Amino acid sequence: MSYTTNIKNEIINNYYTLEENMAELSAILNIEAEIGKKDIKVYTENIGVSRRIYTLIKDIYGITPSMTKTIINRLGKKYLIEISINEKKDFILKDLSIIDENGKRLHKPQNYIIDTDEEKKAYLRGAFMICGSINDPKTSRYHAEFIIHDKKTAQYIAELLKSLNYNSRILKREKHYMVYIKEAESISDFIKLLNATNSLFYFEDIRIYRDHKNMTNRLNNCEQANIEKIINTSNIQLENIRKLKEKVDFDLLDERIKDVCIYKEKYPESSMQELAEIISSETGKPITKSGINHRFRKISEIVNKD
């Protein structure tokens, strides 16, 4: 069972008010309904969603829609389920703000359908159930989307998401529009909006694990880069010491320069901080990392001086 299916099953099993149920059904019919002269048809491959639509219609309007199931993939045991509303067609469409009083198609419901934030959330739940999906967080990318055929409806879903502080975008495909969310935190908040608590916990567990793993990798990469930097710096310092001894009489050098050369050759893999601690401890002459760095700059100047 897919992650999206798990989320939808959680939504289906929750309790909502009549107003929220109407907003949910309005979204479903707005996005997916085929409106004929005498009936309304809705199609879905999800059996749980088909039962939810059936229950909403029956509970809100007191009618029993018909349901038929057609096999679309015998090997994968996939079905296309048709829910057909044959009664109160015009009343339902007007009541759910799918059409206006003159029978004109509306792609954005009137305010009484989405008057409160809870009704807006319910509308988005309906949209998600009929055309939405969220990638399993175990995959390489975070992604939530709605696949919508009508441009105006897609724009309204994006507008509704924006009103609830979700940063969504619209992408035109060949035969449809995709409204999508990419940010992990926004997707997590959206799953919370859907009231899919178990799915939210699963998403957050995986997200925390991935974030921790990425942070660990970044720290390891940083540590490796630091090690490589220390090795490169040490090689340059040792090479400069070799050149210094070839160029000048070592015994005539300043004692502080000689100390740095002697201890760097004795401890060639030491960093400047480690070298400062070694010299301070073994000679009793306190010196800082900055002091070590200053002396190596002095060595470099002598070596490179014409």
Q: Which of 129, 123, 130 is nearest to 43 (CA)?
A: 130
Q: Cβ distance 4 to 133 under 8 Å?
A: yes
3-state SS of 137-179 is CCCCCCCEEEEECCHHHHHHHHHHHHHCCCCCEEEECCCCEEE
* Cα–Cα distance for residue pair 297/291, rounded to 1 Å: 10
> What letter does residue 98 receive in the DSSP assignment?
S
**In Å, how far from its chain's centre is CA 142?**
4
Q: Which amino acid appears at position 127 of this protein?
A: A
Domains and CATH numbers, the chain: 3-195 (3.10.28.10), 226-304 (no CATH)
Residues 6 or more apart whose CB falls under 8 angstroms from that of 141 comprise: 135, 182
**Tens digit of each residue's pLDDT, the chain (306 residues):** 789 999 999 998 888 999 999 999 999 999 998 998 889 999 998 889 999 999 999 999 999 999 898 876 655 567 789 999 999 999 999 999 999 888 899 889 999 999 999 999 999 999 999 999 999 988 868 899 999 999 999 999 999 999 999 989 999 988 899 999 998 899 999 999 999 999 999 988 888 887 777 777 777 777 777 777 878 888 888 888 888 888 888 777 788 888 888 888 888 888 888 888 988 888 888 889 898 889 888 888 888 876
